[in-house]
Structure formats: structure tokens, C-alpha cells
Amino acid sequence: MNLKKSCLFPTYNKFPLTLVRGHQTTLWDDEGKSYLDFMAGLAVCNLGHVPERVKERIQEQLEQLWHVSNLFHIPVQEELAEKLVTISCADLVFFCNSGAEANEAAIKCARRYHQRVLGNNRYEIITFEQSFHGRTMATLTATGQEKVKDGYLPLPEGFVQARFNDIQSVRNSITDKTAAVMLELVQGESGVHIAEPKFVFELAKLCEKEGILLIVDEVQTGIGRTGSLFAYEQYGIEPDITTLAKGLASGLPIGAMLGKEKLREAFSAGSHASTFGGSPLPMAAGMATIEILLEDGLEKKAQQMGAYALDKLRKELKAYPAICAVRGLGLLIGIQFAEPVAPIIQKLHQNGLLVLAGGTHVIRFMPSLYVTCDEFDQAIDILKKVLKEWDGGTGEATL
């Protein structure tokens, strides 16, 4: 790996690896070493690396058209929008290029719905401590973590943070200016914190009662990752707005904001736009991805494999005092440690298992939805090997 001084801004603390090839759940670096990938490109490669049918669809589209702009009708864009509406509780779709852009669109749509459709002056968005919604100025302000806000003052007004899983905290945060509540059903980036069903049910009822829009950020949890097509399905609610990105196009840049019919007028002509959003290439990849997901029932596989993994992790890791808890939903799994995990992650990478942190004390497992029991067993064996070298494997943790 060449470590010469880079011309890139150093906005990432990069792992000392150069990955050059991938297939399914395996990656290879520039020295030919293979790795079991439990990162999936930050929950992006839900179908594994370079899925054949998605590649074929992209190649077919490459021969036809790359970009024309949203000033013209794009058939594959209409097809993907219709497919997303069919499988969700939404009626309308706006396409963009990332999760942050999808959440930015959701914030704008919520404000404009109140101000231009309902004729009131509501603009505040309630979000939650420990949340993560993106890196634009609005979405980093919405994020409930101070680390992403450092050096970016002054921040936009209109965002209020409540405590996660605390309905009274939400009630106390509502004012006559509240337009929406934005919620992650699993707070992945901060450590895989899972919303409690009672809290979500009460929140949905509260939003309905107060005339507040409910936005569910499914950028990481959507597209089968948590054991259903969308995580909200497991909570028995229907969001007014749902945001998607990561797993939607198997690695091509994409974002989507899905909304109810009542929001149509809020996003009328000229109210919002994206030059590259909805371009033919990511739309083709998105169509292929969703078709494969549905045909292979990958959300059910994620549910089954997630249950297998959680059970095995809790049993196998019980003897290691460094581990405090194991939690997850589908194939979004967090292993909480009593100490910072950065040096442990480095050791795991050296032993051929690619994982990432969730906050400072949690390791996330987010493999392809095609991951097998054998691959999970292999990952757990590598983790156990590293832990034995780390603390001798003595003691017992409460899982």
C-alpha cells in the first residue's frame, strides 16, 4: 500500500488497507490478502460485492443513457419510484444522491408542508440524542451528537433534541412551532441503540394528535437490513416521510425521500431539486437491487440470520469480561465493550475480519444479507481469538 502524502482533504481516519476487489462477502487488498467483510461498505452492499444481476443492469444502462437531467421524463426513475411505493406505505418519491440529501429533503418538505400547504408557521424538527442524520448543515444540526458540529457554528435554528425512548421528553419538546419529529428506529452510528416498541407506538399517536409529521430515517435500517423491508414495519406504524439511501442501489450513489400523498403540494414544481438525483445509472441499479431483494426474500434471511447471530454471539462471548452487551435488529448488530474499541478493530482487521465502530465502545456487524452461518461462525471465531489475546479470556460478562 502506497502511503505517500495524499492530495485529498484528510476528512477520514482511513484504515491502513487498500481494497481492490470484492465478491459477495469477501474483499481483497492490493497485496492479495482476503478479508471477511462485515461492514458491507457501511451497510451499503446489502447484496454483497459486485452482484452479477445488478452489474448486468448497470452495463445495459451504460449502453443506453447516462444522464439527461430531471427536466425530462426518465422511465427507469418512474419504475423505481413505483416499485418503492408498492412495497412501502408511501405514495410519492423524491430521488437524490445520499442519505444526508434525503434527510435534508425531508426537513424541507416538512417545513414547506406546514408553511405553504397548511398555512401555519411551524418549522421546528424534534430529533433525538445520539442520533445521526448526515453531514449537511441542516442534518448535522439535526444529529444528536456534538462531535459532528465542532467548528461549524452558527448552526441553523429550528432543531430540538429529545431523549431517545422517552415519550415525556418528546411531549416536553413540542411547541406551537413543531413541524415534525425525525427518528431512527435503530441508532446505528452511536452504538446500535434500538427504539422500544411502546415508545414508537406512543410517538406515532402523539404526532397524529398534535398534527406533527413523523419522519423515520431508514438510511441505514431500510432495504431489508433489519429483517423487514423497512424497520418501521416491525413497529406497526406508517411514517409520513421515510428516508432511504445506503442499500438501495448496491453501491451507486442514491438517496430517496418517500412521502404520503398529502405532501404532494408541498414539493410542487420548483420547490426542490437535485441535478444528479434520479439519473438513469443509479435508478437501474436500484431497480435490480429491489427486484433481487424481493425475489430472494432477503429481508426474511436477514431476520433469520440476525436471530442466529445474536443467539450465538451472546452464548459464545459470555465468558469475555471486555464485553458488556450484544444487541441488534436483523443484520444490524452491536457488540458493546467496556473500553474503546478502536484498537480491537485494528486487531480484527489484521486477522481478516472487517468491522467498524458504533460510537467509541461498540463494534458493529453489518454483513451482506446473503451472509451464511459458516461466515458468521468464522467471524465469531476471529473475534474470540482477538479477545483471548486481548484479555486472556477470563471472567464472565452479563449478556
Q: Which residues contact 308 (CB under 8 A, 6 or more apart)?
A: 373, 376
Closest CA to 17 of 6, 38, 2: 2
Query: Is the pLDDT score of 287 beyond 70?
Result: yes
Query: Is the pLDDT score of 244 beyond 80?
Result: yes
Query: Is the pLDDT score of 288 beyond 50?
Result: yes
Mean pLDDT taken over the chain:
96
Q: What is the pLDDT of residue 393?
A: 47
Q: What is the pLDDT of residue 219?
A: 98
Residue type, 232: Y
Query: Is the pLDDT score of 394 beyond 70?
Result: no
Is residue 223 within 8 A of residue 229, CB to CB? The reply is: yes
pLDDT digits (tens, 9 = 90+) for 305-330: 999 999 999 999 999 999 999 999 99
pLDDT digits (tens, 9 = 90+) for 186-211: 999 999 999 999 999 999 999 999 99
Q: Which residues contact 287 (CB under 8 A, 6 or more apart)?
A: 57, 76, 79, 80, 83
Query: Is the pLDDT score of 392 beyond 80?
Result: no
Query: Is the pLDDT score of 223 beyond 50?
Result: yes
Q: What is the mean pLDDT of residues 235-239?
A: 98
Q: Which residues contact 208 (CB under 8 A, 6 or more apart)?
A: none
| Residue extent(s) of CATH 3.40.640.10 domains in the chain | 52-295
Q: Is the pTM of this model over 0.85?
A: yes
Superfamily grouping for domain 19-51+297-391: Aspartate Aminotransferase, domain 1 (3.90.1150.10)
Query: Is the pLDDT score of 2 beyond 80?
Result: no
Residue type, 257: M
Is residue 203 within 8 A of residue 213, CB to CB? The reply is: no
286 burial level (CB within 10 Å; 0-12, 13-18, 19+): buried
pLDDT digits (tens, 9 = 90+) for 347-389: 999 999 999 999 999 999 999 999 999 999 999 999 999 999 8
**Would strands 124-128 and 178-183 be described as parallel, antiparallel, or unpaired?**
parallel
52-295 topology per CATH: Aspartate Aminotransferase; domain 2 (3.40.640)
| Residue extent(s) of CATH 3.90.1150.10 domains in the chain | 19-51+297-391
Q: What is the pLDDT of residue 5?
A: 86
**Percent of residues, the chain, with pLDDT higher than 90:** 95
Query: Is the pLDDT score of 130 beyond 60?
Result: yes
Q: What is the pLDDT of residue 4?
A: 76
Q: What is the mean pLDDT of residues 279-285?
A: 98
Q: What is the pLDDT of residue 3?
A: 61
